[in-house]
Chains A and B, each alone.
Chain A
Amino acid sequence: DVKVTQSSRYLVKRTGEKVFLECVQDMDHENMFWYRQDPGLGLRLIYFSYDVKMKEKGDIPEGYSVSREKKERFSLILESASTNQTSMYLCASSSHPRGETQYFGPGTRLLVL
């Protein structure tokens, strides 16, 4: 069965801290995505990756970076967390070279104080 896991369900961090959100998929998918979801704004794409060590900016990459050292793992990094990065973060993966069905993790609810 398809499985995408995220390292934490809930996370509380202080402004200025460096934050790592980890995502692991066990489906041997080439593509992985990071979104954030906020009330009234929907899902917004932060970064995505089509291969190991490869990354592409999404719609809102500012303040974030990513790392994909292994095919199954895609990390989202908040270099210096700010209160406006308080959000639900969702990781997804897909097998098609481009788009098609995405499988989502359970999400990480991040609160930055």
Chain B
Amino acid sequence: SQKIEQNSEALNIQEGKTATLTCNYTNYSPAYLQWYRQDPGRGPVFLLLIRENEKEKRKERLKVTFDTTLKQSLFHITASQPADSATYLCALDIRGPGGGADGLTFGKGTHLIIQP
């Protein structure tokens, strides 16, 4: 069955450093991968989408890489700030029987803590 793995342990990073989060998947070939941010008691908020034919995507201090050979995506936050503390979820498209995607399947998320 399809499986998405994110580091379940909290990641503690010093303010100003680069935080790197990992998303690994098995038994699947997604057309794209997404990253979401979730704050306690809130719904996830979309951050970035990267397609299977893209190696890297950037948005301000965020960078996502996508290695379809390793079946892995890395999510980087440069110059991290305490306000970046949250849970970050990766999500893959689900392929339906007809070949089209049928929504997303989410990893369990990694809790990131940026310490001042």
Q: Please list the residues of chain A having a beta carbon within 8 angstroms of any beta carbon in chain B.
A: 4, 31, 33, 35, 40-43, 45, 48, 56, 58, 90, 92, 97-107, 109
Contacts and interface: CB of A to CB of B under 8 A. Distances in A.
Given A42-B109, A98-B102, A100-B93, 5 more contacts: A35-B106, A43-B44, A45-B103, A99-B104, A107-B43
A106 to B, nearest CB: 5
A106 B101 contact: no
Given A45-B103, A58-B103, A100 B32 contact: yes
Interface-central residue, A41, A45, A56, by most chain B CB under 10 Å: A45
Contacts of A104: 43-45
Given A98-B93, A100-B49, A48 B102 contact: yes
B103 A42 contact: no
Contact of A101 (B41, B49, B89, B109): B49
B96 to A, nearest CB: 7
Interface of B: 32, 34, 41-46, 49, 89, 91, 93-94, 96, 100-109
Contacts of B94: 99
Given A41-B108, A42-B107, A43-B89, A107 B102 contact: no
A60 B49 CA distance: 26
Contacts of A105: 43
B109 to A, nearest CB: 6
B45 to A, nearest CB: 7
A45 to B, nearest CB: 6
